[in-house]
């Protein structure tokens, strides 16, 4: 909203000067432009132009016109979109009438807009103003101007102050078009789907989602301005179809389907995105010693630090980071200080939170309070020696923690002594109490967080990213064997390990659909005569109920997909194993308990 406000002043300021005397008919008279710089060499970053070579800014640049979000800089995007619309209306009606109409529909659009609009909301309000004022005479011209600057038919933003947006250069279609809000999607992150179809008037429509591993779900899309938007959750758990949560496994892809009915022709519209495994959390023995540290002397709330390497985090890489005294490392953009430090706030931040809560580094709870930085080969560590900003008299309590970033993308959280009474730290009004520990990709709807009963000398928390060195897991399926017959129970057994990382999951596919998940927790001394990582617990064994799986009698296929802690999946065997389900009941094992006897007393 603020960015658009700054752009209004440019758009109208370049066209209006105030006359002397009473304005005729209640309106200000028009005169020539009083700023002939056209944005070049003054307070704007680029000259105003409809030439994309001279000014390439689009909605995709929101928050990045300069290295961080800023209302004046981001307002240039909105101005450029209005400048394109103005040029189109001048071409349509001539200089005087084009200028008159664009001023009127922009002003009336402000009256018709929803409160606290996004740029997309404001685009829709201007389109509405054209329909109200001029019977929609310039709908095509307005759409063309906005689409050229990334605010086309499938553009969307969750709220006015968001920089995680979807840009679009598409014009409206009467045949339907789909787009995912996020690509790629992390397993556990909600799916947000956008539909545009100019022929639709209903309040809601339905689309369908499928996972490559077999799940199918319906998604309701609700009319939101000129588009339809819907949300549905995802899960790493294996669930039934049509249960309002799409089950995903590493290596999946998500496809969306929508059927457009009527003119110009009934057809199915589809789009597809990839997925990413979440970061893999594990622990290591406690350690809290760091060498060659330098003080940041962080007297303000934040310092921007250049990293010694390009740090990969989720789907991007970063050469610098914002380090906050309150225990947050943020990327992409700075975070409002003294605001919330809870999970919803982390979801809006591309950031890492080893212990995020209201802290100060200028107190007396412990000596030499500050944030320290140290670099080693392939890693950089930020350590906080601080204290809680207490709501009670007498000051806060000491906190000691650190976050280490590795050039591979791995993250480690380390905790020293203290870290008591964290819940007593001051909390802004309307915020949940801290601390918040975890990471977020900044998509506003997803975090990976950790809860511990105490952070005093806690174990080192290790977060392995879903990308890495490319070493794949190794596995063998021992049962079923090719051509084997089963009744009632399908026994799946085998071995799975990883030469470098940890096996995080073994997914079992029958006839191309994931049906179960196994864990390598069976001791296999026979296999471990030659040591491999994970020994002896590298075996897995899982009995599957044939009836529960809905397997008919006859031939079926089976394969497994093994994923390691770096998110790398691999399927075994190369060709799925064919097996047979026979009718009838399998022979059941027999057992008897001899001791203790029923009702016996034991000690």
Report pLDDT digits (tens) over 376-411.
Answer: 999 999 999 999 987 766 678 999 999 999 999 999
Q: What is the mean pLDDT of residues 196-211?
A: 96
| Pair 191, 201: CB distance under 8 Å | no
What is the three-class DSSP state of 69?
Answer: coil
Rounded Cα gap, residues 496 and 493, in angstroms: 10
What is the three-class DSSP state of 279?
Answer: coil
What is the three-class DSSP state of 281?
Answer: strand
Rounded Cα gap, residues 383 and 380, in angstroms: 10
**pLDDT (0 to 100) of residue 28:** 41
Rounded Cα gap, residues 109 and 118, in angstroms: 13
**pLDDT (0 to 100) of residue 43:** 72
Rounded Cα gap, residues 553 and 61, in angstroms: 57
What is the three-class DSSP state of 138?
Answer: coil
Confidence of residue 39 (pLDDT cuts 50, 70, 90): low
- The token pair that represents 218 in the structure block: 């319906």
Residue for token digits 């897991």?
473
Rounded Cα gap, residues 210 and 219, in angstroms: 11
Rounded Cα gap, residues 130 and 121, in angstroms: 15
β-strand pairing of 513-518 with 474-479: unpaired
Q: String of b and e for 494-533 (b: at least 16 CB within 10 Å)?
A: bbbbbeebbbbbbbbbbeeebbbbbebebebeeebeeeee
**pLDDT (0 to 100) of residue 118:** 94
What is the three-class DSSP state of 293?
Answer: coil
What is the three-class DSSP state of 472?
Answer: coil
Residue 54 CA, chain-centre distance (Å), reads: 32
Q: What is the mean pLDDT of residues 51-80?
A: 91
Which of 379, 377, 376 lies closest to 405, judged by CA?
379
| Pair 189, 248: CB distance under 8 Å | no
**pLDDT (0 to 100) of residue 274:** 94
Rounded Cα gap, residues 106 and 174, in angstroms: 26
**pLDDT (0 to 100) of residue 264:** 84
Residue 528 DSSP label: G
What is the three-class DSSP state of 496?
Answer: strand
309-318 residue pLDDT tens? 999 999 899 9
| Global pTM value | 0.87
Rounded Cα gap, residues 287 and 459, in angstroms: 7
Confidence of residue 19 (pLDDT cuts 50, 70, 90): very low
The count of other CB atoms within 10 Å of the CB of residue 101 is 23
CA angle 174–179–185, rounded 5-degree value: 170
Confidence of residue 5 (pLDDT cuts 50, 70, 90): low
* pLDDT of 108 strictly over 60: yes
309-346 residue pLDDT tens? 999 999 899 999 999 999 999 998 778 776 899 999 99
Rounded mean pLDDT of the chain?
90
Strands (E), 277-345: 280-284, 294-295, 302-313, 316-324, 329-330
- Concatenating the DSSP letter of every residue in 169-198 gives -PPP-SS-EEEESSSSEETTSPEEEEEE-T
Rounded Cα gap, residues 413 and 409, in angstroms: 13
**pLDDT (0 to 100) of residue 591:** 85
Confidence of residue 41 (pLDDT cuts 50, 70, 90): low
**pLDDT (0 to 100) of residue 27:** 42
474-504 residue pLDDT tens? 999 999 999 999 999 999 999 999 988 899 9
**pLDDT (0 to 100) of residue 42:** 61
275-293 residue pLDDT tens? 999 999 999 999 999 999 9
- The token pair that represents 467 in the structure block: 């990308």
What is the three-class DSSP state of 595?
Answer: coil
Alpha helices per DSSP H over 303-403: 343-347
* pLDDT of 256 strictly over 60: yes
The pair phi, psi for residue 265, each rounded to 5°, is: -165, 150
Share of the chain above pLDDT 90, in %: 75
366-381 residue pLDDT tens? 999 999 999 999 999 9
β-strand pairing of 191-196 with 569-581: unpaired
**pLDDT (0 to 100) of residue 500:** 86
* pLDDT of 25 strictly over 50: no
* pLDDT of 268 strictly over 60: yes
Q: How many CA atoms lie within 13 A of 60 on its CB side?
A: 11
N- to C-terminal Cα separation, the chain? 73
What is the three-class DSSP state of 73?
Answer: helix
Rounded Cα gap, residues 341 and 433, in angstroms: 8
Q: What is the mean pLDDT of residues 105-124?
A: 95
Q: String of b and e for 429-460 (b: at least 16 CB within 10 Å)?
A: eeeeebbbbbbbbbbbbbbbebeeeebbebeb
């Amino acid at each position: 909203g603020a960015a658009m406000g700054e752009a209004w002043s440019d758009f109208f300021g370049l066209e209006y000067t105030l006359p002397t005397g009473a304005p005729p008919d209640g309106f200000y008279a028009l005169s020539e432009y009083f700023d002939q710089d056209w944005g070049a060499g003054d307070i704007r970053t680029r000259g105003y132009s409809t030439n994309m070579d001279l000014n390439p800014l689009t909605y995709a640049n929101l928050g990045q016109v300069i290295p961080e979000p800023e209302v004046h800089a981001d307002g240039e995007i909105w101005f450029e979109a209005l400048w394109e619309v103005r040029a189109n209306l001048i071409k349509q009606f001539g200089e005087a009438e084009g200028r008159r109409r664009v001023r009127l529909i922009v002003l009336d659009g402000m009256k018709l807009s929803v409160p606290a609009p996004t740029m997309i909301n404001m685009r829709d309000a201007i389109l509405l103003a054209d329909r109200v004022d001029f019977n929609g005479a310039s709908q095509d011209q307005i759409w063309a101007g906005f689409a050229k600057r990334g605010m086309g038919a499938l553009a969307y933003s969750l709220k006015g102050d968001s920089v995680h947006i979807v840009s679009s250069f598409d014009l409206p279609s009467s045949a339907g078009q789909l787009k995912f809000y996020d690509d790629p999607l992390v397993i556990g992150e909600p799916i947000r789907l956008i539909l545009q179809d100019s022929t639709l008037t209903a309040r809601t429509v339905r689309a369908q989602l499928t996972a490559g591993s077999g799940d199918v779900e319906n998604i309701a899309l609700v009319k939101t301005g000129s588009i339809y938007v819907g949300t549905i959750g995802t899960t790493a758990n294996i669930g039934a179809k049509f249960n309002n949560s799409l089950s995903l496994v590493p290596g999946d892809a998500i496809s969306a389907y929508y059927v457009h009915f009527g003119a110009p022709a009934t057809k199915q519209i589809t789009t597809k995105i990839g997925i990413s495994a979440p970061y893999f959390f594990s622990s290591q023995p406690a350690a809290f010693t760091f060498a060659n540290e330098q003080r940041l002397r962080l007297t303000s709330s934040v310092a921007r630090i250049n990293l010694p390497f390009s740090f990969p985090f989720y789907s991007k890489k970063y050469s610098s980071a914002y380090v906050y005294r309150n225990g947050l490392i943020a990327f992409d953009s700075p975070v409002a200080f003294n605001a919330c430090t809870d999970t919803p706030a982390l979801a809006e931040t591309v950031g890492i939170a080893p212990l995020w809560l209201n802290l100060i580094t200028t107190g007396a709870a412990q000596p030499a309070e500050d944030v320290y930085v140290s670099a080693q080969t392939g890693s950089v560590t930020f350590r906080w020696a601080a204290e809680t900003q207490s709501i009670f008299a007498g000051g806060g309590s000491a906190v000691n923690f650190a976050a280490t970033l590795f050039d591979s993308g791995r993250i480690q959280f380390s905790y020293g002594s203290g870290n008591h009474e964290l819940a007593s730290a001051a909390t802004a009004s309307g915020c949940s109490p801290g601390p918040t520990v975890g990471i977020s990709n900044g998509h506003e709807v997803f975090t990976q967080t950790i809860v511990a009963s105490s952070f005093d000398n806690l174990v080192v928390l290790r977060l392995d990213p879903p990308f890495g060195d490319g070493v794949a897991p190794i596995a063998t399926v021992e049962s079923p064997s090719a051509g084997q017959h089963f009744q009632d129970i399908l026994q799946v057994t085998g071995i799975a390990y990883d030469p470098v990382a940890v096996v995080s999951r073994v997914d079992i596919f029958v006839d191309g659909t994931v049906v179960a998940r196994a864990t390598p927790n069976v001791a296999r001394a026979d296999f471990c005569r030659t040591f491999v990582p994970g020994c002896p617990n590298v075996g897995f064994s899982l009995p599957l109920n044939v009836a529960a799986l809905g397997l008919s009698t006859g031939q079926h296929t089976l394969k497994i997909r093994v994923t390691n802690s770096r998110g790398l999946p691999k399927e075994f065997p190369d060709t799925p194993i064919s097996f047979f389900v026979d009718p009838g009941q399998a022979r059941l094992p027999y057992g008897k308990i001899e001791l203790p006897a029923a009702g016996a007393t034991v000690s």
